[in-house]
Amino acid sequence: MIKKKSIKNKDDAGWEEKVVQVKRVTKVVKGGKKLSFRAVIIVGNEKGQIGVGVGKASDVIGAVKKGVNDAKKHMILIPLTKSYSIPHQIYGVSGAAKIILKPSATGSGVIAGGSTRTVLELAGIKNILAKQLGSNNTLNNARAVLDALKNLRTFQYTADKRDITLDYLYK
């Protein structure tokens, strides 16, 4: 697993936030229905750091602020190749949502849809093929992509983990 580096100065410039979904949710209470909003936010710096967060509040602006804070708390660092792709094919799961990520040739772009595309673009990945399987839930698909990206390994990391040289790994 990739070492988690502490992310200093999350408030610095370079961080991009995207609101993927805002839903109006209600809760039935004794006096009637209580209305609130749920926002799904994705925060990334396009250099390999990405986070997905959810915020709930009685107004949209409050929900977005809470979502941004949540996304910054759950930030991960991913390894990128020189061609701004991923090192190998990987699967991710969150709830009923499953996702397949495959590295793609230089110049092919981000071939993905929905929240998957947003997560990959904000992570800084420019050449990738993604397929959503199972659920169409926006939040679960974003979390499935995060799960897949979290489990990526570089060749150097694998060689270090097995206590062998990188050249021996390629043989």
- Average of per-residue pLDDT across 162-171: 84
Quick check: 63 pLDDT over 50?
Answer: yes
Look up residue 8 and give its DSSP letter: -
Which residues pair with residue 14 across a beta bridge? none
Residue 145: CA count within 13 A, CB half-sphere = 31
* DSSP-assigned letters across all residues of 62-75: HHHHHHHHHHHHT-
- pLDDT for 2: 42
Percent of the chain, pLDDT > 70?
Answer: 92
- Region for 164 from its dihedrals, namely left if φ exceeds 0, alpha if ψ lies in -120 to 50, beta otherwise: beta
Q: What's the CA gap between 61 and 41, in Å, rounded? A: 12
- pLDDT tens-digit readout, 87-134: 899 999 999 999 999 999 898 999 999 899 999 999 999 999 999 999
Q: Does domain 16-76 have CATH number 3.30.300.30?
A: no
Numbered ranges of CATH 3.30.230.10 in the chain: 78-159
* Range list for CATH 3.30.160.20 in the chain: 16-76
* Coil, helix or strand at residue 52: strand
Amino acid letter for position 19: V
> Hey, what amino acid is at 106?
T
Chain segment 36-52, per-residue pLDDT in tens: 999 999 999 989 899 99
Q: Retrieve residue 29's tokens.
A: 């209470």
Closest CA to 52 of 31, 37, 67: 67
Q: What is the pLDDT of residue 166?
A: 84
Q: Are 52 and 40 in contact (CB under 8 A)?
A: yes
Predicted pLDDT at 12: 63
First to last CA, the chain: 22
Indicate if the pLDDT at residue 4 is higher than 50. Answer: no
Average pLDDT for residues 2-31, to the nearest whole number? 76
Q: State which fold the 78-159 domain adopts.
A: Ribosomal Protein S5; domain 2 (3.30.230)
Strands (E), the chain: 16-29, 32-44, 49-57, 76-77, 90-94, 97-103, 110-111, 128-134
